């Protein structure tokens, strides 16, 4: 007796709401969308677990008509036909719909010959800045051999009571995050820096929550990597202390806060307008590259670093310029002694 074909829903399908108030299922890998009616929606929901045609609601159709419908759905990519119920069951079982969407969008393998948009993103400005602080660089502080720095790199979750010096902070940022040169049209903000970024489009901005640095008032700052200065944004407040505690101290399971913590935010239009569907994946990859560079610079200088991954899903930091929706929060980094 032949084994009946089992049908299952394409695990990459994601529901969306269309502009005309109808439900749409999106196959992001194939970049195709399908409007579905109530019967098809029930069928797709039922086939999250593979089943043969005889176990399904035919919706009043004859067996031949229903078989033809199933084949059309297979041809369209909405369903998959397999020989057994267990075939491919574990493909994406550990991933949520949102994670599957990001996997699918991030796997987009190409882009148009030119930019997705021909208008460059606007440069980031902080009109509310209260002035700038020039950062010194200790040129006498020689770097150690790379193998030694890599061997010493680790996360440190306890900090001494002494403040950082402004020269230590300035030297750290100079080695880890400064703009060394422009690598393309200035209007696209394509730069070379110590850490890599897709297309040289460095969308990541460093915001500092400064608690204890000699010669620097406590508060929030933005690092300008071109001029190598700090832009002073806000005074020290209870909200800053709470943010440092929630995003850095609690994930690190420590009570004593670091002298400085970094809030890393992507000004995402720089990457999105050029790379389109690949942008979010690249932004997170770039964050990993930057965090490793920060770690190595801290280890080289004998400072205490630790990264944390607790993120604000909707950035609300008081020091971010408006509109805050122009940013994606991608990471945090503690720096102390």
Looking at residue 84, its pLDDT comes to 77
- Under the banding of pLDDT at 50, 70 and 90, the label for residue 135 is very high
- Give the HSE-up count for residue 321: Cα atoms under 13 Å, Cβ half-sphere: 17
Predicted confidence (pLDDT) at residue 167 exceeds the cutoff of 50: yes
pLDDT tens-digit series, residues 256-297: 899 999 999 999 999 988 888 788 999 999 999 999 999 999
- Per residue in 32-83, pLDDT (tens digit) is 889 989 999 999 999 988 999 999 999 999 999 999 999 999 999 999 998 8
H-helix segments, the chain: 38-46, 63-76, 97-106, 146-152, 166-176, 238-244, 250-252, 269-275, 279-301
Contact 294, 194 (CB under 8 A): no
Position 101 scores a pLDDT of 74
Q: Which ranges of 54-200 would DSSP assign to H, the alpha helix? A: 63-76, 97-106, 146-152, 166-176
- pLDDT for 1 equals 57
pLDDT reported for residue 286: 97
User: Which of the pair, 172 or 116, is modelled with greater confidence?
Assistant: 172
pLDDT higher than threshold 80 for residue 220? yes
What is the rounded average pLDDT for all residues in the chain? Answer: 89
Question: Taking the model in full, what pTM does it have?
Answer: 0.84
Structure tokens at 71: 């084949």
Rounded mean pLDDT, 205-216: 97
Percent of the chain with pLDDT over 90: 67
Instruction: Report how far residue 241's alpha carbon sits from residue 251's, in angstroms, rounded to the nearest whole number.
Output: 15
Residues 315, 235: Cα–Cα separation, whole Å: 19
| Residue 141 pLDDT class (50, 70, 90 cuts) | confident
In the predicted model, what is the mean pLDDT of residues 176-182?
94
Name the residue with tokens 């897709």.
198
| Contact by Cβ (8 Å): 329, 315 | yes
Pick from 107-116, 149-158, 227-236: least confident: 107-116
333 or 28: whose pLDDT is higher? Answer: 333
% of the chain with per-residue pLDDT over 70: 93
């Amino acid at each position: 007796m032949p084994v009946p074909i089992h049908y299952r829903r394409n695990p990459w399908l994601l529901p969306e709401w269309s502009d005309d108030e109808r439900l749409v299922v999106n196959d992001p890998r194939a970049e195709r969308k399908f409007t579905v009616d109530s019967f098809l929606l029930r069928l797709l929901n039922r086939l999250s677990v593979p089943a043969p045609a005889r176990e399904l609601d035919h919706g009043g159709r004859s067996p031949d008509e229903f078989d033809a419908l199933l084949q059309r759905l297979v041809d369209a990519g909405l369903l998959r036909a397999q020989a057994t119920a267990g075939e491919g069951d574990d493909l994406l079982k550990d991933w949520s719909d949102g994670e599957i969407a990001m996997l699918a969008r991030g796997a987009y393998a190409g882009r148009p010959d030119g930019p997705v948009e021909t208008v460059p993103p606007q440069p980031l400005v902080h009109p509310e800045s209260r002035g700038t602080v020039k950062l010194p660089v200790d040129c006498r502080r020689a770097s150690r051999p790379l193998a030694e720095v890599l061997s010493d790199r680790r996360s440190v979750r306890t900090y001494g009571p002494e403040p950082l010096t402004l020269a230590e902070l300035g030297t750290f940022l100079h080695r880890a995050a400064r703009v060394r040169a422009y690598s393309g049209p200035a209007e696209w903000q394509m730069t070379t820096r110590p850490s890599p970024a897709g297309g040289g489009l460095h969308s990541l901005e460093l915001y500092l929550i400064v608690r204890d640095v000699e010669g620097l008032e406590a508060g929030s700052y933005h690092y300008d990597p071109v001029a190598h200065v700090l832009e002073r944004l806000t005074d020290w407040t209870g909200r800053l202390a709470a943010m440092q505690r929630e995003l850095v101290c609690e994930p690190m399971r420590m009570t004593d806060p670091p002298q400085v913590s970094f809030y890393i935010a992507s000004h995402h239009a720089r990457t999105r307008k050029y790379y389109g569907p690949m942008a979010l994946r690249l932004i997170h990859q770039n964050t990993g590259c930057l965090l490793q560079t920060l770690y190595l610079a801290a280890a080289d200088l004998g400072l205490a670093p630790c990264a944390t991954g607790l993120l604000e899903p909707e950035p609300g930091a008081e020091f971010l310029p408006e509109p805050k929706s122009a940013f994606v929060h991608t990471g945090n980094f503690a720096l102390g002694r």
